[in-house]
């Protein structure tokens, strides 16, 4: 019955779950709850109150019908979650079923969790966050490199996770359009148009730096990336967190994932400044430092397990980590720029309702981003924090 793909409605999902999932053969309720840019997400609840999530890839992105995409991204997401579960089983949702024909997966319902971005926007803090997310990044990003993984297996995974269509979205939305608006789909905040044209569109030196970073993204297959690691891809509660949505997974530079996380915490910092939440500004600063210090410590410890012959030389691992950190902060700059200038915004910024406050928050972000990209001396979290503090009290005109 489900051997040929079709995009399911609520009623279709109910029948699908009744046919496929043990314990859901009777009366069920179904609600579409997806709020992302690409896929359809359904919560299905049975008569006893147990619930599961059904996620299906549609042939077009929800954010724009111009993004026509292969539904194979659901396979990539599911297989990435299964691999992440080998290294960090407590930090990803459990997969119950994968159906390649229907391009959908069934997974545990994280109804006791909340999307982290939503909680951060209400200035909620989480003491466990830095430890858990640094573990997720170190375990998954370091263990899928050539330092820890059999090189034949790694090359097989590179083939398995070739993801050309979603990589092209990243290549355009992150690495090109915020600087050269060739698709004419950037969205500039009213009052910031001239600033962005002068500060970003007309900065040739910045463009050259970005072009080099784009070449790195296109060619450097260091590790299996989550590919979209931000606070909207993390479910969290008072005790722990779960990382979701690795449909952009592919082999690329480690700094891409870590930099995305740094940038999205920086949006929380910019928002807290805009709302004069000084205690929360301080918490985000501490979370940034704690996350990056723990990531470095754990990554270094994992690298010491390596059987790759040249890691007997400490300098090899240290130079590798140093390059990852430089990439991290440069890519954080790219992510900040694309969320302020480009098509895909973040609610942290768009819900700063006072236009003057939003303009200032954006200019702070764009200034931090430019320095991250252009200044190759920003290679540590301490240097990054100096950059944040520099723009904390500055009025940009």
What is the pLDDT at residue 62? 67
Task: Tell me the fold of 114-392.
Answer: Aminoglycoside 3'-phosphotransferase; Chain: A, domain 2 (3.90.1200)
Residue 149 is classified by DSSP as S
What are the extents of the domains in the chain? 10-108, 114-392
Phi–psi pair at 57, nearest 5 degrees: -85, 130
The neighbour count for residue 81, using CB atoms within 10 Å, is 24
Give the DSSP H or E segment for 43: strand 40-46
Tens digit of each residue's pLDDT (9 = 90 or more) over 22-55: 999 999 999 999 876 678 999 999 999 999 999 9
Q: Please answer whether residues 17 and 28 qualify as being in contact, where contact means their C-beta atoms are separated by less than 8 angstroms.
A: yes
Q: Please give the pLDDT value at position 1.
A: 80
For the chain, which ranges sit under pLDDT 70?
Answer: 36-37, 62-66, 394-397
Q: Write out the two tokens for 118.
A: 């939503």
Task: Answer yes or no: CATH 3.30.200.20 is held by domain 10-108.
Answer: yes
Query: What HEC string does 203-253 produce?
Result: CHHHHHHHHHHHHHHHHCCCEEECCCCCHHHEEECCCCEEECCCCCCEEEC
User: Biggest alpha carbon distance in the chain?
Assistant: 63
> Do the beta carbons of residue 99 and residue 2 sit within 8 Å?
yes
Strands of the 241-243 sheet, one edge to the other: 114-115, 234-236, 241-243
pLDDT score of 396: 59
28-44 as b/e: b if 16+ CB within 10 A: bebeeebebebbbbbbb
What are the respective helix, strand and coil percentages of the chain, to the nearest 5?
55, 10, 35
């Amino acid at each position: 019955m489900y051997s040929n793909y079709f995009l399911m409605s609520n009623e279709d999902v109910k029948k699908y779950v009744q046919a496929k999932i043990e314990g859901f053969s009777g009366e069920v309720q179904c609600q579409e709850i997806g709020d992302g840019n690409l896929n359809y997400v359904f919560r299905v609840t049975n008569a006893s109150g147990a619930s599961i999530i059904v996620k299906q890839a549609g042939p077009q992105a929800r954010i724009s019908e111009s993004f026509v995409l292969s539904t194979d991204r659901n396979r990539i997401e599911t297989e990435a979650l299964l691999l992440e579960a080998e290294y960090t089983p407590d930090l990803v949702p459990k997969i119950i079923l994968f159906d390649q024909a229907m391009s959908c997966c069934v997974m545990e319902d994280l109804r006791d969790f909340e999307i982290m971005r939503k909680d951060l926007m209400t200035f909620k803090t989480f003491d466990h966050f830095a430890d858990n997310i640094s573990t997720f990044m170190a375990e998954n990003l370091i263990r899928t490199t050539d330092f820890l993984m059999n090189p034949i297996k790694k090359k097989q995974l590179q083939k398995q996770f070739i993801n050309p269509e979603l990589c092209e979205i990243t290549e355009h939305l992150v690495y090109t359009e915020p600087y050269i608006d060739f698709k004419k789909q950037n969205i500039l905040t009213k009052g910031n148009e001239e600033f962005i044209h002068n500060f970003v569109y007309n900065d040739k030196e910045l463009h050259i730096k970005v072009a080099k970073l784009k070449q790195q993204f296109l060619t450097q297959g260091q590790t299996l990336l989550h590919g979209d690691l931000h606070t909207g891809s993390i479910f969290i509660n008072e005790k722990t967190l779960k990382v979701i949505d690795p449909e952009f997974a592919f082999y690329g530079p480690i700094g891409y994932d870590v930099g995305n996380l740094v940038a999205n915490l920086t949006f929380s910092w910019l928002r807290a400044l805009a709302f004069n939440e000084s205690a929360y500004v301080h918490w985000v600063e501490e979370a940034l430092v704690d996350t990056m210090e723990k990531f470095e410590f754990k990554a270094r410890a994992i690298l010491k397990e390596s059987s790759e012959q040249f890691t007997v030389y400490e300098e090899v691992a240290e130079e590798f980590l140093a390059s990852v950190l430089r990439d991290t902060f440069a890519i954080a700059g790219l992510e900040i720029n694309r969320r302020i200038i480009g098509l895909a915004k973040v609610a942290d910024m768009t819900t700063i309702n006072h236009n003057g406050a939003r303009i200032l928050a954006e200019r702070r972000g764009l200034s931090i981003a430019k320095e991250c990209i252009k200044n190759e001396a920003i290679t540590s979290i301490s240097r990054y924090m100096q950059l944040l503090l520099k723009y904390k009290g500055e009025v940009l005109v």
